[in-house]
Amino acid sequence: MNHKPPIFIGADHAGWELKQAIKKYFFDSGYDVTDFGNLDLDPNDDYPDFALAVAQNVAAVENARGFLFCGSAQGMVMCANKVKGIRAALGWSINAARSSRRHNDANILCLPARDLALSLARQIVDLWLFTPKSSEERHARRVQKIAEYEAQQTN
């Protein structure tokens, strides 16, 4: 991959340490990273604040990728997927991450910090970033159906 996509990240207090480690990894690898917080490990934070900020920015910037970190990552996935144009996936394993990019063209990966060691999280992040979406018609057709449904929705 010659062109590195802009990366937007966010985490609540439960995902803060993993986010900090992955953020350093991104910077060291030459990525343009924007961190939407939690910036100071505030235990009274609310994950929707970070999920929505990351999702809105990923949706607004062509080819952007997002990473969200929290304890289970479930709330982050639910919240991010409320934003039109977002296909957020739970990245609890290498296979889940690969499939989310290849079959679903996911643009945000949500990582469960309580379930992943840093070494596995880095493997998942790398794999997800470098896995292209499938060129198979059946996968494109399914992602298109999601986009068509979104387009029919009113706010």
Catalytic residue list contains 3: no
One-letter identity of residue 45: D
Q: What token pair was written down for 44?
A: 């009274």
Q: Among candidates 14, 122, 123, which has minimal Cα distance to 70?
A: 14
CA distance 94 to 136: 21
Catalytic residue among 3, 13, 103, 110: 103
Q: How many residues does the chain have?
A: 155
Catalytic residue list contains 103: yes
CA distance 92 to 39: 24
Catalytic residue among 13, 70, 79, 110: 70
Q: Give the H/E segment covering residue 64.
A: none
Q: What token pair was written down for 25?
A: 């990894």
Annotated catalytic residues are 70, 103
